[in-house]
A and B are shown apart, each in its own frame.
Chain A
């Protein structure tokens, strides 16, 4: 199916504008919505939690929901069933193969991002080359491993990412009620990023406790805040833009565990300029991915 996504987005926004009449209200002025012409790219998605018996079927389901919100493209990474602790090389390969199967059928809607587990560095680098250097994937992560990301075990992966000019999406949480063993925090990522100033990182979830996460990465300029995968708590994006600048904030959803809607609302509902929304909803991600895409002859 060929879809004019700008048309979809325009009709979606028009739907917002008619919110009042739909509900019997006289006026829905100031209705939310990113506005026509926004190109929405989602940096943070998985197949986990999506209906469908195969990776291809689940990807089709994601695309169906993307269309309703005018999302042009997503970046897909591992996660099909339950989180795997200390995955074996075969399990890592299987995760990446599923992602590549899923995106192969939707080349104009999705790119794949490689999953790596730094517990086996040699295999990690082989898998990096298989999927990114010699394969179709265009970024790294979500890196969600059983080793905190400030570990030296991450250094060879980051050096390979610098060489191939691909950004890294790193999972981070600061959980009030206790982090999982080996779970990374924004503090860990800041430490890693300072060791590798040439690398580009996205701080997945911005630590969940985003008021802390934003501050943890504030002075580390090669780290962007990823807003995916937390409650749509108001103020998140406003603070990120205030403290980091709009060019360091990246939209993602963490679908299928989260809805596209709740996560996009963080940007659509934020009281920030449209120019900032445009960057967050896709402009920044395309900038981060441009070297990787150009190296593969792909358009951003």
Chain B
């Protein structure tokens, strides 16, 4: 099982079980995970993104070699972000990056993002966009960050056909109710994780609206209970081939043997 949506280190407003890399790896292995795509909570808050990515890469090597796959942070509103992108690819050998537009203060129609996406695609980097991290109703009062609106992606994605984009935490708070989400789903180069997919029958509905090959397993662990994503898959009544595709095959295809 490949978990495409994991974060390392501490969330600043709550101690989480599994917020140190060693215990996170131990717990994920016990849950049947064979590979986890890991970003860093630090990437949301620290301005020294290069340092964040170096610590992430080191933790993945030290605690999860051949298990934790680092996805570096790039903030396209930060000076010289192009160097962060280069280091993710060339120095840390990361297969992808994870963006946090709402925490970094830009909308998805920002010209900076339109510059970043083709550069990542040219390098063959998979791009994950975390549309949200937390229900806005439960955020710390002094740190209120509304979800990113994915609507601009409908116009953006067709411009970069070589891009491979995964939307994380798209669902209950991340865009299921926005008017353009159906157009985004029509793009051939976008995938969806299931961490914030909700409602009774929600996963089957997402698959029907997209494709069994465009949905990947993502837990948002350790912020969420891992079992939330697992139970969604196990209780969706999916044919076995679809379940296998979602829990592993689609993610493996996305990385295309790069790990």
Among A20, A30, A265: residue with most chain B CB under 10 A: A265
Q: Report the separation of the CA atoms of residues A31 and B234 in the bound assembly, to the nearest whole angstrom.
A: 13
**In the complex, which of the residues B18, B172, B226, B248 contacts A23, with contact meaning CB atoms closer than 8 Å?**
B248
Chain B hits for A235, CB < 8 A: 14-17
Q: Does A208 contact B (CB under 8 A)?
A: yes
Contact B31 A230 (CB under 8 A): no
CB-CB contacts below 8 Å: B64-116 with A: none
CB-CB contacts below 8 Å: B158-210 with A: 172, 196-203
Other 10 A-B pairs with CB < 8 A, given A22-B243, A231-B172? A25-B1, A28-B32, A29-B30, A65-B235, A176-B136, A233-B14, A234-B223, A235-B14, A259-B199, A265-B225
Contact B198 A268 (CB under 8 A): no
Contact B200 A176 (CB under 8 A): no
> How near does chain B come to A16, taking the closest CB pair, in angstroms?
7
Chain A hits for B31, CB < 8 A: 19, 28, 30-32
Chain B hits for A269, CB < 8 A: 225-228
Q: Does A216 contact B (CB under 8 A)?
A: no
Chain B hits for A261, CB < 8 A: 228, 231-232, 234-235
Q: Does B156 contact A (CB under 8 A)?
A: no
Contact B32 A231 (CB under 8 A): no
Q: Report the separation of the CA atoms of residues A24 and B35 in the bound assembly, to the nearest whole angstrom.
A: 11
Contact A262 B232 (CB under 8 A): yes
Task: Classify chain B: how many residues form its interface, as a range.
Answer: 35 or more
Among B197, B199, B235: residue with most chain A CB under 10 A: B235
In the complex with contacts A19-B230, A32-B31, A232-B228, A62-B200 CB distance below 8 A: yes
Chain A hits for B144, CB < 8 A: 176-177
Q: Report the separation of the CA atoms of residues A31 and B228 in the bound assembly, to the nearest whole angstrom.
A: 13
> How near does chain A come to B220, taking the closest CB pair, in angstroms?
9
In the complex with contacts A28-B31, A65-B201, A209-B138, A19-B1 CB distance below 8 A: yes
CB-CB contacts below 8 Å: A165-182 with B: 173, 175-177
Q: Report the separation of the CA atoms of residues A6 and B202 in the bound assembly, to the nearest whole angstrom.
A: 25
Q: Does A255 contact B (CB under 8 A)?
A: yes
Q: Report the separation of the CA atoms of residues A82 and B228 in the bound assembly, to the nearest whole angstrom.
A: 26
Q: Does A51 contact B (CB under 8 A)?
A: yes
Q: Does A226 contact B (CB under 8 A)?
A: no
> How near does chain B come to A61, taking the closest CB pair, in angstroms?
7
Contact A231 B34 (CB under 8 A): no
Q: Does B54 contact A (CB under 8 A)?
A: no
**In the complex, which of the residues B200, B224, B243, B244 contacts A231, with contact meaning CB atoms closer than 8 Å?**
B224
Contact A23 B200 (CB under 8 A): no
Q: Report the separation of the CA atoms of residues A232 and B202 in the bound assembly, to the nearest whole angstrom.
A: 15
CB-CB contacts below 8 Å: B1-58 with A: 1-2, 14-18, 30-34
Chain B hits for A265, CB < 8 A: 224-228, 230-231
> How near does chain A come to B38, taking the closest CB pair, in angstroms?
16
Q: Does A187 contact B (CB under 8 A)?
A: no
> How near does chain B come to A70, taking the closest CB pair, in angstroms?
9
Q: Report the separation of the CA atoms of residues A64 and B194 in the bound assembly, to the nearest whole angstrom.
A: 21
Q: Report the separation of the CA atoms of residues A131 and B235 in the bound assembly, to the nearest whole angstrom.
A: 33
Contact B140 A61 (CB under 8 A): no
> How near does chain A come to B152, taking the closest CB pair, in angstroms?
23
> How near does chain A come to B54, taking the closest CB pair, in angstroms?
27
Chain B hits for A231, CB < 8 A: 134-135, 138, 172, 196, 224
**In the complex, which of the residues A25, A233, A238, A270 contacts B224, with contact meaning CB atoms closer than 8 Å?**
A233
Chain A 40-69 interface 0/1 with B at a Cβ cutoff of 8 Å (1 = within): 000000000111000000000110010011
Contact B225 A266 (CB under 8 A): yes
> How near does chain B come to A53, taking the closest CB pair, in angstroms?
15
In the complex with contacts A230-B138, A271-B17, A22-B244 CB distance below 8 A: yes
Chain B hits for A208, CB < 8 A: 135, 137-138
Chain B hits for A28, CB < 8 A: 30-32
In the complex with contacts A65-B235, A262-B198, A234-B224 CB distance below 8 A: yes
